[in-house]
């Protein structure tokens, strides 16, 4: 069945394997539109003042113009005042340089939270001789919101608790150099997609299923997969053409920042369309050949693929155990270094009965809607690896996944866009992020890609039981692929964490690394944010090669405290700054050859303080 779903009904698969959209082939959650409705592009995000770190302070002294050289006595007094303000936080003071505006840059000797440096600046600014003082913030590149007219409707790609944060990933890569095979219904040459289509093949051997008058050939264009009543089986309901492959391909690689329509997740990657699904679905034998051919293998009677794919997307499935034909094809593709991503299915049942998602070596993807909860149709179970946005249009069509489509109800019409829902829509999110990862680090193996996808996933923000390791996060996955400070891959399935060995209560003052409360691994640390300026440090010794995981839970749902992790040198190595009511988690591996001390830090952001400002740190 196709893994996109317009309705809550489930359609039986009568011939081979059909598309993976819950509710049947080809029906959209909302009627396609001829032209995109104009929607303003989101404004570029600005870094919030309360987050980030810096080790420098800018101070402008009254009456001091550019080029002025203060006396040694004056500078000494200034240094003493700054050092007095910085010392409680472990800082010092050293003059760095003058600016073109006549201000002075001072080093604080250690990396501090911007909020702490703002507090230091406030103390320095109390001197009547100071015109102003402020943190010398470290800025980071931010990919601007694309100008695609319907970007604002793509909730699934935004930097939110349910979006995959693709813009941060774009600061590193947009997928250049990676081909993604969309093994599906073929493609339409949509104006918002065609530039990113390369090669492809029609591997449907049966002319009745192909619906294009012939069997296998080099034309992967989608002629339409509409069916009539009873055409595929007794009781079969007539359906319009789905243009399913075009929708999936648009999610992966729609042309981006072209002032039109939607943005793709990996807009510099290329899509290799491989047509295996037609009228009534598609045969396992064709799909298996497609996996082999798309990944660079040999299929008798078919020319070699000149554009072998590093990622395969299969937004399709059927009921039953994993068959030998599919498993052998998956194993063959993986042997050539290709990642195989499969939609988990839309039957609201355990994925163990949905093939090929239940095959070994695939990345099986469940779906959630705009609340972050498992979509009502999505399959689940221990074989699911990760969850991604698939939409849930039960609350309105705009809660689906918007992508490229065609207006034709049977044969092709004109370009359009539509909201679909289904694990068919979730899978290409993961496939596209895998492409970003491989673009950033081409040496990754399929096992490494899967492990990094899972270990970099974010905790669920709503109920999504048996939905895999967490919610897809493009930014952290790409950072993990490039050796950033995201979590080290964990085995599959993720083992149950060892329960905390004991509980440790906070001992004030613990507002610097030097006065941090020691805590063993594993343990539970309990503390209180006494005021808006309070901060707490904990010290944890981590053996060589071991991974430290710390989770912060506020005692009151309205409280928003952030979690940071520092090494012994005071460098921040990980952070989590999720909103009120959400658990913050950081994970870091000691890659050194000896034990090392790390410092989890809890910092106030907003909400409750004082006796009600309690929190717990689960340390493992």
Please list the active-site residues.
Answer: 184, 244, 424
143: left (phi over 0), alpha (psi -120 to 50) or beta: beta
Partners of 505 in the β-ladder: 526
Strand order from edge to edge, sheet including 18-19? 18-19, 316-319, 354-355
CA distance 288 to 253: 24
Peptide bond into 522 cis (omega under 30): yes
Give kind and range of the element (H or E) at residue 106. strand 104-113
CA distance 426 to 391: 8
Q: Which of 463, 466, 437 is nearest to 450 (CA)?
A: 437
For the CA atoms of 321, 323, 324, 325, what is the dihedral angle to 10 degrees? Answer: -160
Distances (CA, A) of 335 to 285, 302, 361, 493: 19, 20, 11, 22
Distances (CA, A) of 604 to 116, 257, 413, 530: 11, 37, 55, 9
Distances (CA, A) of 449 to 170, 435, 437: 18, 10, 7
CA distance 434 to 114: 34
- 49 and 31 Cβ atoms separated by less than 8 Å: no
Q: Which of 535, 539, 521, 554 is nearest to 620 (CA)?
A: 521
Structure tokens at 612: 């009600």
- 151 and 259 Cβ atoms separated by less than 8 Å: no
- To the nearest 10 degrees (0 to 180), the angle between helices 423-440 and 446-455 is 110
Residues 302-335: b if buried by 16+ CB within 10 A, e if exposed: beebeebbbbbbbbbbbeeebeeebbebbebbbe
Distances (CA, A) of 373 to 13, 343, 389, 455, 594: 27, 17, 10, 20, 42
- β pairing state of 201-202 and 270-275: parallel
3-state secondary structure 11-30: CCCCCCEEEECCCCCCCCCC
Q: Which of 293, 307, 286 is nearest to 185 (CA)?
A: 286
For the CA atoms of 511, 513, 519, 520, what is the dihedral angle to 10 degrees? Answer: 170
Q: Which of 71, 146, 64, 132 is nearest to 98 (CA)?
A: 64
> Distance of alpha carbon 8 from its chain centroid, rounded?
27
Q: Is 527 helix (H, G, I), strand (E, B) or coil?
A: strand
Partners of 489 in the β-ladder: none
């Amino acid at each position: 069945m196709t893994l996109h779903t317009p309705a809550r009904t489930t359609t039986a698969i009568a011939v081979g394997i059909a598309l993976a959209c819950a509710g049947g082939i080809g029906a959209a959650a909302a009627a396609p539109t001829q032209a995109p409705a104009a929607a303003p592009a989101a404004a570029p995000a600005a870094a919030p003042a309360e987050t980030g770190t810096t080790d420098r302070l800018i101070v402008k002294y009254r009456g001091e113009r550019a080029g002025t050289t203060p006396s040694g006595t004056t500078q000494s007094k200034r240094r003493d005042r700054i050092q007095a303000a910085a010392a409680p936080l472990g800082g010092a003071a050293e003059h760095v340089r003058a600016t073109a505006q006549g201000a002075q840059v001072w080093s604080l000797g250690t990396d501090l939270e911007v909020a702490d440096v703002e507090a230091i600046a406030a103390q320095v600014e109390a001197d009547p001789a100071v015109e102003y003082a402020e943190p010398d913030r470290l800025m980071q590149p931010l990919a601007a919101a694309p100008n695609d007219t319907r970007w604002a409707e793509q909730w699934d790609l935004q930097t939110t608790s349910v979006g995959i944060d693709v813009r941060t990933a774009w600061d590193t890569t947009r997928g250049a150099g990676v081909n993604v095979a969309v093994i599906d219904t073929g493609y339409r040459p949509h104006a918002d997609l065609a530039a990113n289509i390369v090669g492809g093949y029609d591997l449907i051997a049966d002319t009745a299923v192909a619906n294009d008058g012939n069997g296998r050939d080099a034309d992967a264009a989608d002629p339409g997969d509409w069916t009539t009543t009873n055409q595929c089986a007794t009781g079969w309901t007539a359906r319009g053409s789905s243009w399913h492959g075009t929708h999936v391909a648009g999610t992966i690689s729609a042309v981006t920042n072209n002032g039109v329509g939607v943005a793709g997740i990996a807009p510099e990657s290329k899509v290799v369309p491989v047509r295996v699904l037609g009228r009534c679905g598609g045969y396992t034998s064709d799909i298996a050949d497609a996996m082999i051919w798309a990944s660079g293998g040999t299929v008798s009677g078919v020319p070699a693929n000149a554009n072998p794919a590093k990622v395969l997307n299969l937004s399709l499935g059927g009921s039953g155990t994993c068959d030998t034909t599919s498993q052998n094809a998956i194993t063959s593709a993986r042997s050539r270094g290709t990642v195989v991503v499969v939609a988990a299915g839309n039957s609201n049942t355990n994925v163990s009965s949905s093939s090929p998602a239940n095959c070994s070596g695939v990345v099986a993807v469940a779906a959630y809607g705009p609340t972050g909860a498992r979509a009502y149709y999505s399959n689940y179970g221990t074989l699911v690896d990760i969850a991604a946005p698939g939409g849930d249009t039960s609350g309105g069509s705009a809660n689906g996944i918007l992508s490229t489509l065609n207006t034709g109800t049977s044969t092709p019409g004109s370009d359009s866009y539509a909201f679909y829902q289904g694990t068919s829509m979730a899978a290409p999110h993961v496939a596209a992020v895998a492409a970003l990862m491989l673009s950033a680090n081409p040496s990754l193996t399929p096992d490494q890609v899967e492990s990094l996808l899972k270990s970099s996933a974010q905790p669920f923000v709503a109920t999504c039981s048996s939905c895999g390791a967490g919610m897809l996060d493009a930014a952290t996955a790409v950072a993990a692929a490039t050796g950033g400070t995201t979590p080290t891959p964990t085995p599959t399935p993720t083992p149950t964490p060892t329960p905390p060995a004991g509980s440790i209560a906070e001992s004030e003052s613990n507002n610097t690394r030097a006065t941090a409360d020691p805590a063993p691994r594993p343990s539970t640390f309990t503390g209180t944010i006494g005021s808006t300026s309070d901060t707490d440090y904990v010290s944890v010794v981590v053996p060589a090669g071991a991974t430290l995981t710390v989770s912060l839970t506020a005692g009151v749902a309205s409280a928003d405290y952030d979690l940071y992790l520092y090494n012994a040198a005071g460098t921040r190595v990980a952070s989590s700054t999720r909103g009120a009511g959400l658990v913050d988690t950081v994970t870091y591996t000691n890659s050194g050859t000896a034990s090392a001390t790390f410092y989890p830090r809890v910092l106030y952001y907003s909400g409750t303080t004082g006796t009600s400002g309690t929190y717990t740190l689960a340390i493992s």
